[in-house]
Amino acid sequence: MQKETEIKLRVSRETLAALREHPLLKKRNKSGWERRELMNQYFDTPERDLARAKVALRLRLDGEEVIQTLKTRGHSVAGLSERNEYDWNLPKAKLDVKKLDGECWPEELAELDKKTLKPIFTTDFVRERAEIAWGRGKTKVVIEAALDLGHVIVGKQKEEICELELELREGEPAALLELAAELAATLALMPCDISKAERGYRLFDANSYSLSLPAPELTFELPLDDAFAALSWHLLGSSQRLAEQYRFNGHWRLLQDWVENLAELRALLSSLGQAAPRQSTHDLRLALDALLEDWRPLVQAGLDDEDVRKAAPEQFLEELEDPRWGLFSLNTSRWLLARTWAADRNVRGNRQGAAQLGNWLPRLLGEEATSLQLQRYQQQPEDLAEQLPRIERIQAWLHHARNVLDIPEMDRLYGELNKLAQLANEPITDEVLDARKQQAIAVYQNRAWKMLLRM
């Protein structure tokens, strides 16, 4: 068994060609590019039991070699994935189910009848592979770079494979992100944690691709730094999956959710006070603001305009063809991995970052609720939009962490605040102004809101 740590980056054919000649890869290429044709047959039961268990089983023809591979459920964070991989060389291209036993076979599949395993789809592609190595401080980094071009094939359906895969052979995971970010500075590289196997299942069944990632487990005792990191990784990873799926099928709701994920990440960044000094978040805030400045108005316009919704997928493809999205994703991953927000803060900031979430969060929400001054906007509803950043900070924490608060009616408050935020975003009309007044009253009279004002 070996542990596989890698990052997959979706690219165009033009970018794939440019990567072969990229000066950075040329300088660090220790082996030259080796070209191989890989034919892969994936197996599962008719009920797709392996897919549900996040297990991939394949036979690979690599020249004269036949390799059986089992990849078990792994851990993926914003495009950087880690999972266990088992390989067996076989004398012929026939699945050997006797190998699928012992410690390699997941316990949840122990009762599975392996005789029901059948071919499901193939991934056939040409791989150009090179060993990329350099010195990073006092340590050596070795990464296998693979340029893959081919297709996932399910019956008469096919989807193109065109990606850069970077797999860590020696060194720290941060080196993968550093290399990817350096390449993404001038090339459009889209972090994408959907594997070739997932693409096959998605083509086999369009509804099989799961967008949702496990929600982070937040507790009262969790330090603020850890809670913020967990939520930020979650939002970044979710935004990457939403971007991939919207690119794939163009469903409008996915674009809305993508923008909401970015807005929540922006709100969390601005809520931390001295736990995240402004200098440490400056570049990340600028990048988020630029994305939101372009995409929020479009999403808002698309709520009532079908032509905007129809044009959006092509506009989004243009976004992905620009280096901006990939570079933002990779730099944010590096920022989170290094915990950059905590690097140069003062004693008070360190104390705040170490505070228990259950103690820190009520104080934050109480301060924000008091500063919102909802009574004023019952009288001056035309000015409510100026408070959107504050409302969004409250929303972001209530969305993900209201379970740590011992306050009644938090779910209802979250729903009422969502309505208030929606009204604050709508163009002003007499009807909207009246609705803002009524909604401000509904939030102000909420039992949970009144308790937050006393925090």
Q: What are phi and psi of 9, to 5 degrees?
A: -130, 115
pLDDT tens profile 45-91: 998 999 888 899 999 999 889 999 998 876 655 556 667 889 999 99
Q: What angle do CA 13, 15, 19 make, to 5 degrees?
A: 120
Closest CA to 424 of 447, 400, 440: 440
User: Measured between alpha carbons, how far is 18 from 178 in angstroms, rounded to an integer?
Assistant: 19
pTM of the model: 0.90
Q: What per-residue confidence (pLDDT) applies to 80? A: 62
Q: Provide CB contacts within 8 A for 198, sequence distance 6+.
A: 209
Q: What angle do CA 354, 355, 360 make, to 5 degrees?
A: 145
Cα 123 to Cα 149, 208, 419, distances in angstroms: 10, 17, 46
Q: What is the mean pLDDT of residues 197-221?
A: 84
DSSP annotation of 427 reads P
Average pLDDT across the chain, whole number: 93
CA 379 distance to own-chain centroid: 41
pLDDT tens profile 104-120: 898 899 899 999 999 99
Q: What per-residue confidence (pLDDT) applies to 212? A: 76
Percent with pLDDT over 70 in the chain:
97
Residue with tokens 């459009």: 188
pLDDT tens profile 2-30: 667 889 999 999 999 999 999 999 999 99
CA 336 distance to own-chain centroid: 13
Q: What is the mean pLDDT of residues 394-405?
A: 96
Percent with pLDDT over 90 in the chain:
82
Q: What per-residue confidence (pLDDT) applies to 53? A: 87
